[in-house]
Amino acid sequence: MLRQRLPAQIALGMANPVAGDQIKMTNHDWAFSIQALQARLGVQRLQIINDFTALALALPSIHSAHLVQIGGTVALPFAPKALVGAGTGLGVSGLLPTDANDHWVAIAGEGGHVTLAAQTETEYRVIELIRHRYGHVSAERVLSGQGLVDLYLALRQLKKETPVDVAGAAEITAWALQDKDPLAQQSIEMFAGFLGSVLATWH
């Protein structure tokens, strides 16, 4: 049986900061050495980059119909491009133009760990309730799957509603879409508002 040949060079995107040879995942107990993995795979080059840095590099290939303009009236072809995505955490990256020849540089960072700011009195009180539970309230503490659950539970506590068991973010979303729970709808709206405030920093 012939063994499938690996390419000479491999690039992998990981939901993790990449600095140096040793990789230790933020939301998992997996850790490894890039050099050791390269040797084990037997490839000439192994490049590990942050997953949202990889996604940001794809932004110029995405049709404008699938992008959302932030501010202004006319989209500039070589303006900075932002990328955010909520999941187990909050992925944040973007592209900055380097010249007028469609050359870009990707931003590699952990923007989801910035402190979440409140815009209204209700948001401030919700953040305070979450802070009492976790300490520092980062953007990804709220703008993530578990964050939506925490946001909903904080709103229930703020409104002095009876505590409930929540299976996860999907259940809260279903309640909102089915008009079963006004607080679920408010949670979704507040989630979107917080996400908008993160995007607004690019304006």
Instruction: Report DSSP letters for 46-106, one per residue.
Output: EEEEEHHHHHHHTGGGS-GGGS---SSSS--TTS-EEEEEESSSEEEEEEEE-SSSS-EEE
Q: Which residue has the tokens 């500039």?
A: 76
Q: Does position 167 have pLDDT exceeding 70, yes or no?
A: yes
Q: Does position 153 have pLDDT exceeding 90, yes or no?
A: yes
Q: What one-letter code names the amino acid at 26? A: T
Q: With contact defined as beta carbons under 8 Å apart, do 55 and 20 qualify? A: no
pLDDT confidence band for 203 (50 / 70 / 90)? low
What tokens does 52 get?
A: 């949202």
Cα torsion 41, 42, 45, 50 to 10°: value is 10
| Predicted TM-score of the model (pTM) | 0.78
Mean pLDDT throughout 8-14? 92
What tokens does 34 get?
A: 């890039």
| Cα 11–chain centre separation | 21
What tokens does 55 get?
A: 């996604």
What's residue 121's pLDDT? 95
- Give 89 or 157, the one with higher predicted confidence: 157
What tokens does 46 get?
A: 């192994």
Q: How confident is the model over 26-49, as pLDDT tens digits?
A: 778 889 999 999 999 999 999 999
What's residue 17's pLDDT? 84
What tokens does 142 get?
A: 């709220």
The mean pLDDT of the chain is 88
Which among 174, 125, 124, 122 is positioned nearest to 148, based on CA atoms?
174
Max Cα distance, the chain (Å) = 67
DSSP state, 113? G
Q: How far apart are CA 184 and CA 177, in angstroms?
A: 9
Q: Which is it for the CA torsion 115, 121, 126, 128, positive or negative?
A: positive
Mean pLDDT throughout 96-110? 82
Q: Does position 136 have pLDDT exceeding 80, yes or no?
A: yes
Mean pLDDT throughout 155-164? 93
Q: Which residue has the tokens 């209700």?
A: 122
DSSP SS3 for 39: helix
What's residue 169's pLDDT? 94
